[in-house]
DNA sequence: CTGAAAGCGCTTACAG
DNA sequence: CTGAAAGCGCTTACAG
């Protein structure tokens, strides 16, 4: 392995100063066109690449973004939330568009990630992806803010949280899926998914759900709702409890596709057919939802656009431009699980 | 946003020299225990982080690995090969274990990625993930090798390719799934998946398939095989062709789960029941395979172990230790699509 | 348009 | 065990 060439080597070969090499390679208009092209050609021939560490140190920025994914590490990596994976794909591509590198890291919500990346100049800013359902999330965000770290958060605008957020309208998503179910003739409903302070996404979906019910005068005295985190097992268990209570709603509104998958599985064990006896909806449009029996009606978040917005807004923030929160509309995906085969 | 503190600031506050601060923060045994602890405490209080660019520049390494994913960018990011996503998860976690950062980048096979990362000192080494099915892959690898770049490749050992590879035994995978089908009573077979020089993974699966058939004296004069890339559509089309030829094998061995999903869909349109009339197997054990109707028997690659091996071997390579190719065994996952309900 | 020089913030021989 | 000093490879004011 031969030593890497430096800009001095290139300067020597091109018969110019090292400063000129640096300028030529950054396409500075200050340098004569012919000189610039000659230097660039020699650099290419020599396989010379600017040393990023030196360049970053001098420029005091890294042209790198860090993506922090918060997720309980599952024993089986294949179970990584498909929605996040989809976001990762789109964020990666968006970064490439802007000539930024992307550092990816899985984090525990309770780690000390809030200080790590930008302070050490590894990255110019952070994208935070993961459900903000822990109590100290706000403190960490405040600390980031105080340190002057550039960051954007995936999620809905929340006055509790400092900083910029890009999200998908969970409230509206809860509304449209509920409206769809009402159109399909459902009169009584249950919502499966933890609706509480610590699960703002699910909470907003639930809120949209009950508000739409109220609009149609279908909201009972007490909305039926059972807690469940976003897993198949939790969906199964919550549905089990619902059925044990004797309730037999026309429609089950699940806060995520995984919950819906578990719910359908549970209904099957009780001989309750979907959509024949009960309609079931999910949320997220994960790949699996197109393959379940029945296929799952769900709500889609536009991950491609989300990734692009997260990256472009973070870059604006880094450049010192002002940025506003953004809430994307949710889209309905209608499949078999909510349509009675009349 | 206040200026970041430097090691000189910490030195000043601790009443020691900047060298001592640097040593203390890297836990050097050269520095007095009390001094070390005092310096570390002050650094923590000041929220001081070592500047990675400066540190890397001086140390001439980056403590960063780059993961290059080769994939035809799909218009829909949610369609990113789930197998790769699973690998990404496990690689990310493995990097964290070793205190390395991970740079993730989607690449076109025909880009000039082979020079980019290590030469610019952005990373100390590369992990190459993606099917090596393009003609110029070998040349690029050779170039990497010549440049002295550290890299490991996901895939089977191949004398055509320079460098270290970590892979899963596709040949054995093809064998065990075929043996399973034979045990289920299948006598005649078709293989769906491109088996050629440019698709070494599928080729090895196919080879394992026909060798196992030969072992059981079930290999016809001409093995039936239809080309298909790893998509649902290709699986559908190839199966269509197979059926059009009039062939009605007992079992369809598909080179990937996505192909199998397409194949089953096609069989359905022809009124051919799976597993009733024909057994169908996949490969990869993507999440969807547990939800199709029928659920799909398939072959699993241990992505968790794979990610760990890729990272640990790359780090060995970076340290100058010698590393050997490694081939992991494939595992059978038996579900409904290959078991006749007798 | 070009060059000589300073300096980004570290790590690590070197000297004590 | 500690400090003064060199130097990693760049970018960019400064001077011409």
What 3-state DSSP class applies to B170?
A: helix
Q: Does A320 contact chain B (CB < 8 Å)? A: no
Nearest CB partner across the interface for B303, out of A78, A291, A293: A78
Sign, CA torsion A16/A22/A27/A31: negative
The answer to whether residues B176 and B283 belong to one domain is yes
Tell me the average pLDDT of chain A.
87
Res B78: pLDDT: 45
Domain-embedded: residue B84: yes
- Look at residue A336 and tell me whether its pLDDT is greater than 60: yes
Domain-embedded: residue B1: no
What 3-state DSSP class applies to B286?
A: coil
Cα(A279)–Cα(A67) distance, integer angstroms: 37
**Cβ atoms < 10 Å from Cβ of B195:** 24
Per DSSP, the residues of B146-157 read HHT--EEEES--
- Look at residue A96 and tell me whether its pLDDT is greater than 90: no
Per DSSP, the residues of A233-265 read HHHHHHHHHHHHTT---SEEEESSHHHHHHHHH
Tokens coding A142: 């405040």
- Look at residue A119 and tell me whether its pLDDT is greater than 80: no
Tokens coding B178: 């075929």
Q: Do A93 and B86 touch (CB under 8 A)?
A: no
**Cβ atoms < 10 Å from Cβ of A296:** 30
Domain-embedded: residue A1: no
What 3-state DSSP class applies to A103?
A: strand
Minimal CA separation from A8 to chain B, in Å: 15
The answer to whether residues B123 and B223 belong to one domain is no
Cα(B310)–Cα(B283) distance, integer angstroms: 21
Nearest CB partner across the interface for A96, out of B105, B121, B291: B105
What residues contact A135, with CB distance under 8 A and at least 6 apart?
A198
Tokens coding A222: 């007490």
The answer to whether residues B156 and B257 belong to one domain is no
Tokens coding B4: 């970041």
What 3-state DSSP class applies to A232?
A: helix
Q: What CATH number should be reported for the domain holding residue A13?
A: 1.10.260
The answer to whether residues B73 and B21 belong to one domain is no
Total domains in the fold of chain A: 3
The answer to whether residues B268 and B145 belong to one domain is no
Q: What percent of chain A has pLDDT over 90?
A: 51
The answer to whether residues B190 and B272 belong to one domain is yes
* Confidence category of residue A75, pLDDT binned at 50, 70, 90: very low
Q: What angle do CA B160, B164, B168 make, to 5 degrees?
A: 85
| Cβ atoms A209, A191 nearer than 8 A | yes
Last residue of a domain, one of B59, B75, B99: B59
Residues spanned by the domain of B16: 7-59
**Burial class of residue B61 in the structure, from the number of CB atoms within 10 Å of its CB (0-12 exposed, 13-18 middle, 19+ buried):** middle
The answer to whether residues B197 and B106 belong to one domain is no
Last residue of a domain, one of B15, B37, B59: B59
| Cβ atoms B284, B299 nearer than 8 A | yes
Q: Please, what is the end-to-end C-alpha distance for chain B in angstroms?
A: 72
Closest nucleotide to A34 by C1' from CA = C1
Q: How far is CA B25 from the centre of its chain?
A: 36
B189-192: strand order across its sheet: B225-226, B189-192, B251-254, B279-281
Q: What CATH number should be reported for the domain holding residue B282?
A: 3.40.50.2300
Q: Does A187 contact chain B (CB < 8 Å)? A: no
Domain-embedded: residue A125: yes
- Please report the residues numbered 52 through 71 in chain A whose beta carbons come closer than 8 angstroms to any beta carbon of chain B: 52-54, 56-57, 62, 64
Mark out the alpha helices in chain B (DSSP H runs): 7-14, 18-25, 33-45, 52-59, 82-97, 113-119, 137-147, 170-183, 200-215, 232-244, 257-269, 303-318
Q: Does B304 contact chain A (CB < 8 Å)? A: yes
Tokens coding B64: 């960063």
Last residue of a domain, one of B23, B43, B59: B59
Average pLDDT over residues A174-192: 96
Res A77: pLDDT: 46
What 3-state DSSP class applies to A205?
A: helix
The answer to whether residues A36 and A87 belong to one domain is no
Cα(B46)–Cα(B10) distance, integer angstroms: 8
Domain-embedded: residue A13: yes
Range B301-326 burial, b when 16+ CB lie within 10 A, else e = bebbebbbbbbbbbbbbbeeeebebb
Mark out the alpha helices in B148-294 (DSSP H runs): 170-183, 200-215, 232-244, 257-269
Cα(B102)–Cα(B145) distance, integer angstroms: 21
Tokens coding A275: 């959509």
The answer to whether residues B161 and B308 belong to one domain is yes
What 3-state DSSP class applies to B199?
A: coil
Average pLDDT over residues A230-255: 94
Cα(A87)–Cα(B77) distance, integer angstroms: 8
Cα(A334)–Cα(B14) distance, integer angstroms: 65
The answer to whether residues A289 and A309 belong to one domain is no
The answer to whether residues A200 and A285 belong to one domain is yes
Domain-embedded: residue B2: no
Closest nucleotide to B22 by C1' from CA = C11
The answer to whether residues A211 and A293 belong to one domain is yes
Cα(A88)–Cα(B84) distance, integer angstroms: 12
- Look at residue A4 and tell me whether its pLDDT is greater than 80: no
Mark out the alpha helices in A164-295 (DSSP H runs): 170-183, 200-215, 232-244, 257-269
- Look at residue A297 and tell me whether its pLDDT is greater than 80: yes
Domain-embedded: residue A280: yes
CA distances from B121 to A8, A50, B126, B339 (A): 17, 8, 11, 53
Cα(A9)–Cα(B152) distance, integer angstroms: 30
CA distances from A153 to A10, A132, A144 (A): 43, 9, 12
Per DSSP, the residues of A317-329 read HHHT-----EEEP
Tracing tokens 């690029």 back to the chain, one arrives at B140
Calculated CA dihedral for residues A133, A138, A143, A147, nearest 10 degrees: 90
Q: Which residue is nearest to nucleotide C2 (CA to C1')?
A: A20
All residues of chain A having their beta carbon less than 8 Å from the beta carbon of residue B261 are 291
Best of A2, A78, A116, A331 to mutate (most B CBs within 10 Å, chain B): A78
Minimal CA separation from B76 to chain A, in Å: 8
| Distance from CA(A63) to C1'(D11), angstroms, rounded | 15
Q: Which nucleotides of D are covered by protein (CB under 7 A)?
A: 1-5, 7-13
- Residues in chain B with pLDDT values less than 50: 1-2, 75, 77-78
| Cβ atoms B51, A121 nearer than 8 A | yes
Domain-embedded: residue A229: yes
């Amino acid at each position: 392995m031969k030593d890497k060439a430096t800009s001095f080597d290139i300067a020597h070969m091109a018969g110019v100063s090292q400063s000129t090499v640096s300028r030529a390679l950054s396409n500075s208009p200050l340098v004569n066109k012919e000189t610039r092209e000659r230097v660039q050609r020699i650099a290419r021939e020599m396989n010379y690449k600017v040393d990023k560490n030196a360049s970053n140190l001098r420029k005091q920025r890294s042209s790198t973004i860090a993506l922090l994914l918060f997720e309980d590490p599952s024993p089986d990596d294949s179970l990584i939330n498909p929605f996040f994976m989809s976001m990762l794909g789109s964020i990666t591509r968006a970064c490439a568009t802007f000539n930024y590198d992307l550092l990816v890291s899985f984090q525990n919500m309770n780690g000390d990630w809030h200080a790590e990346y930008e302070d050490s100049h590894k990255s110019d800013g952070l994208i935070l992806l993961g459900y903000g359902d822990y109590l100290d999330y706000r403190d960490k965000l405040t600390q980031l803010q105080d340190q002057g770290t550039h960051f954007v958060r995936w999620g809905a605008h929340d006055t509790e949280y400092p900083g910029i957020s890009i999200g998908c309208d969970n409230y509206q998503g809860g509304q449209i899926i509920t409206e769809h179910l009402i159109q399909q003739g459902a009169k009584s409903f249950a919502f499966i998914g933890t609706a509480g302070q610590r699960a703002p996404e699910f909470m907003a979906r639930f809120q949209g759900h009950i508000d739409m019910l109220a609009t149609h005068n279908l909201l009972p005295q007490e909305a039926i709702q059972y807690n469940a985190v976003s897993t198949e097992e939790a969906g199964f268990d919550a549905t089990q409890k619902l059925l044990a209570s004797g309730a037999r709603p026309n429609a089950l509104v699940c806060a995520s596709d995984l919950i819906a998958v578990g719910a359908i599985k549970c209904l099957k064990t009780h001989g309750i057919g979907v959509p024949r006896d009960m309609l079931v909806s999910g949320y997220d449009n994960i790949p699996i939802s197109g393959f379940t029996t029945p296929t799952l009606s769900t709500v889609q978040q536009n991950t491609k656009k989300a990734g692009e917005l997260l990256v472009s807004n973070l870059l604006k923030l880094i450049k010192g431009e002002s940025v506003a929160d953004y809430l994307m509309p949710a889209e309905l995906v209608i499949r078999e699980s909510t349509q009675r085969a009349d």
